[in-house]
A and B are shown apart, each in its own frame.
Chain A
Amino acid sequence: MTQPARKRFDAYAMTWRLPIIIWQLLFFVGPLLFMVAMSFFVVKNYRMVEAFEFTNWVKMLGRGYFWDSYFLTLWLATLATVCAMVIAFPAAYALAFKVPDSVRRWAIFLLIIPFFTSYLVRIFSWYVILAETGVVNSILSYVGLGPYTMLNTKFGTIIGYLTLTLPLVVILQTFAMANIDTRLVEAAHNLGCKPFATVYRVVIPLAKTGLIIAALFCFILSFGDFVSPYYLGGSKPPTLPILIIDTTKSGQQWPRAAVVAIMMMITLFAVAFAAISAAYAKRGKS
Chain B
Amino acid sequence: MSKIKNLGGLVTPSRRDVLKYGGAAALSMPFVSRAWAQTVEVNMLAWYGHGEPDIVGEFEAANNVKFKPKYYAGGDNMLGLIAQSPPGTYDIILSDAEFVQQLNAAGYIEELNAADYNFDDMLYDDFKKFPGHWDGDKLHSVMVRCGHLGVSYNKNAITAEEATSYKCFWKPEVKGKVGHFDWHLPSLGMMSLYNGNGAGLWDLDDAKWDAVKKATMSLRSQVGGFFDYGGTFNSLKNGEMQAMCGIGDWITGVLEKDGAPVASVVPKEGGIQWTESYCIGKGSQKADMVKKFIQYMLTPEGQVKSAEMKAYPGFAITKGGRAKLIEVDKKEAERTGQIDGMTNDPITLIKEGRIHYRGIPKQQSLEDWNDFWSEYKNA
- Point out residues on A near B: beta carbons under 8 Å: 45-47, 63-65, 68-69, 127, 131-134, 149, 151-152, 230-231, 233-238, 243, 246-253
Contact = CB atoms under 8 A, between A and B. Distances in A.
B259 to A, nearest CB: 15
B86 to A, nearest CB: 13
Contacts of A46: 76, 79-80, 82-83, 106
B223 interface: yes
Contacts of B73: 249
Interface string B364-379: 0011001101110111
Nearest to A134: B238
A250 B379 CA distance: 19
B324 interface: no
Interface string B204-240: 0000000000000000000111111001001100111
B269 interface: no
B308 interface: no
A236 B375 contact: no
A233 B223 CA distance: 12
Given A149-B240, A237-B378, A251-B366, 19 more contacts: A46-B82, A63-B374, A65-B374, A65-B375, A65-B377, A69-B378, A132-B238, A132-B239, A132-B240, A151-B235, A236-B223, A236-B224, A236-B377, A237-B379, A238-B226, A238-B374, A250-B183, A250-B370, A251-B367
Contacts of A231: 231
A233 B227 CA distance: 10
Given A46-B80, A249-B77, A251-B367, A152 B225 contact: yes
B375 A252 contact: no
A188 B84 CA distance: 65
A227 B275 CA distance: 30
A131 B240 contact: yes
Given A236-B224, A236-B377, A237-B378, A252 B79 contact: yes
A243 B176 CA distance: 22
Contacts of B80: 46, 248, 251-252
Q: Dominant SS at the A interface? A: loop
8 contacts: A63-B374, A131-B239, A131-B240, A234-B179, A237-B378, A238-B226, A250-B77, A252-B77
A250 B74 contact: yes
A230 B223 CA distance: 14
B184 interface: yes
B83 A47 contact: yes
Contacts of B377: 65, 235-238, 246
Given A47-B83, A250-B373, A133 B239 contact: yes
Given A65-B378, A246-B374, A127 B234 contact: yes
A151 B227 contact: no
B177 to A, nearest CB: 9
B240 A151 contact: yes
B375 A63 contact: yes
Contact of A127 (B84, B106, B238): B238
Contacts of A63: 371, 374-375
A238 B77 contact: no
Contact of B184 (A64, A237, A250): A250
Contacts of A251: 76, 80, 366-367, 370
Contacts of A235: 182, 225-227, 377
A278 B176 CA distance: 42
Nearest to B72: A249
The winner among B106, B176, B179, B182 for most chain A CB atoms within 10 A is B182
Contact of A250 (B76, B106, B223): B76
Contacts of A252: 76-77, 79-80, 83-84
